[in-house]
Amino acid sequence: EPEVTQTPSHQVTQMGQEVILRCVPISNHLYFYWYRQILGQKVEFLVSFYNNEISEKSEIFDDQFSVERPDGSNFTLKIRSTKLEDSAMYFCASSGGLAGGTDTQYFGPGTRLTVL
């Protein structure tokens, strides 16, 4: 069964450093998303991406964040200058394949980001 993959599974970085989290969505999907989950808290939407541009973003997704689909398979989230409060699990998701509706999102296993 096709699945969303994410790398790395765990990223440790120093405060102020840039990080890039990578995702490979399901191949025929058209919509891509990033979410984060701070330890013990709810899953929060960050951004959605369709047709090579951001379609929605939350207030969390400020100028420190950017997303890109650099080629036909990868979808990346960049945090320009990490802060301690960016420590969280980051989930990528995709939706909108030929068989499924755009309202069902399939999530990757997550990247745990630890900012020291």
Which residues contribute to the site for other proteins (CB under 8 A)? 6, 31, 33, 41-45, 48, 56, 91, 93, 95, 102-110
Q: Kindly tell me which of 14 and 98 has the beta carbon lying closer to other proteins.
A: 98
- Shortest distance in whole angstroms from residue 84 CB to other proteins: 22
Q: Kindly tell me which of 82 and 111 has the beta carbon lying closer to other proteins.
A: 111
* Sequence-ordered list of residues with C-beta below 8 angstroms from that of 3, at least 6 positions apart, any chain: 26, 106, 108
Between CA 2 and CA 52 the distance in angstroms is 22
- Shortest distance in whole angstroms from residue 15 CB to other proteins: 25
Q: Kindly tell me which of 87 and 95 has the beta carbon lying closer to other proteins.
A: 95
State how far the alpha carbon of 66 is from the alpha carbons of 3, 91, 100, 111, 112, in Å.
23, 15, 27, 16, 18
- Shortest distance in whole angstroms from residue 81 CB to other proteins: 26
Between CA 110 and CA 12 the distance in angstroms is 14
